[in-house]
């Protein structure tokens, strides 16, 4: 009898989990300076009313300190608990009596190095689609600030508004991190690629010259 009840609970849990999904996600990153960043991450969910708890995870990185300031569900503040391990921070969200539909996480990040990983909260729920605009990101910074986005490797759109630089991107999945680097000059991914291509081409030319000279010496002694 107990075994039957246990199997029923497991089966019911699997069915409920299969009905839950992440429908889209977005993040707004406000770079105050090279050591302090404010993040607002939003998750849109499709979860049955019976689910009253939700687990989210955040990767830990050396040189990065994250402070979770508040969590809102459907524009109302909700309670949460934290469980830390060596490489991961997990938070458990508690429903306020209404189903989880929109989760908004507000947290700050202290950065020690110019090149760093910016962690994002992620979930084990399945994504409802893999469209290019599933995840949208906007990065705000002062007009005289510059960054290189090492990951994700997607097309960036940049504009300046009210003396603020805005960088936007779209990703077909929810990333668990951004790999970024502060720089004193504007360096586009295209220019970096062009430099690498020129270096590779120069190496091949030098190798060709060396081979040609060696052949000439072998032929004429």
CATH at 158: 2.60.40.1730
A 10 A CB-CB count for 134 gives 19
| Domain identity same for 216 and 178 | no
pLDDT digits (tens, 9 = 90+) for 72-81: 999 999 999 9
Phi and psi at residue 88, in whole multiples of 5°?
-145, 140
In-domain check, residue 83: yes
| Domain identity same for 196 and 102 | no
pLDDT at 101: 94
3-state helix, strand, coil in the chain (%, to 5): 25, 50, 30
pLDDT digits (tens, 9 = 90+) for 123-159: 999 999 989 999 999 999 999 999 999 999 999 999 9
Lowest-pLDDT choice from 96-105, 137-146, 157-166, 191-200: 191-200
What percentage of the chain carries pLDDT values higher than 90?
69
| Domain identity same for 39 and 102 | yes
pLDDT at 16: 41
| Domain identity same for 178 and 192 | no
pLDDT at 13: 36
Domain encompassing residue 221: 188-221
Alpha-carbon distances of 121 from 7, 8, 52, 160, 207, rounded to whole Å: 32, 32, 19, 28, 48
pLDDT digits (tens, 9 = 90+) for 37-95: 999 999 999 999 889 999 999 999 999 999 999 999 999 999 999 999 989 999 999 99
Q: Is the pLDDT of residue 171 over 70?
A: yes
pLDDT at 162: 87
In-domain check, residue 9: no
Alpha-carbon distances of 195 from 191, 192, 198, 201, rounded to whole Å: 6, 5, 5, 10
In-domain check, residue 2: no
pLDDT at 6: 34
Q: What is the mean pLDDT of the chain?
A: 84
In-domain check, residue 32: yes
| Domain identity same for 153 and 179 | yes
pLDDT at 113: 96
> Contact 111/63 with Cβ under 8 angstroms?
yes
- Total number of domains in the chain: 2
pTM of the model: 0.76
Q: Helix (H, G, I), strand (E, B), or coil: what is residue 101? A: coil
């Amino acid at each position: 009898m107990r075994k039957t009840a246990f199997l029923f609970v497991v089966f019911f849990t699997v069915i409920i989990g299969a009905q839950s999904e992440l429908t889209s996600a977005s993040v707004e990153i406000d770079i105050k300076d090279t050591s302090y960043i404010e993040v607002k991450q939003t998750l849109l969910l499709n979860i049955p009313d019976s689910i009253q708890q939700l687990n989210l995870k955040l990767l830990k990185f050396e040189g990065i300190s994250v402070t979770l300031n508040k969590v809102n569900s459907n524009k109302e503040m909700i309670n949460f608990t934290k469980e830390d391990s060596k490489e991961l921070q997990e938070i458990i969200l508690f429903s306020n009596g209404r189903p989880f539909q929109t989760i908004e996480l507000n947290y700050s990040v202290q950065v020690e190095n110019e090149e760093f990983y910016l962690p994002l909260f992620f979930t084990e729920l399945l994504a409802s689609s893999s469209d290019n605009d599933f995840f949208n990101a906007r990065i705000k910074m002062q007009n005289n600030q510059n960054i290189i986005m090492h990951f994700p490797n997607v097309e960036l759109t940049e504009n300046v508004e009210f003396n603020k630089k805005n960088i936007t991107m779209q990703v077909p999945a929810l990333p668990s991190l951004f790999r970024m680097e502060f720089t004193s000059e504007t360096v586009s991914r295209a220019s970096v690629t062009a430099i690498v291509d020129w270096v590779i081409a120069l190496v091949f030319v030098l190798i060709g010259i060396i081979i040609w000279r060696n052949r000439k010496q072998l032929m004429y002694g």
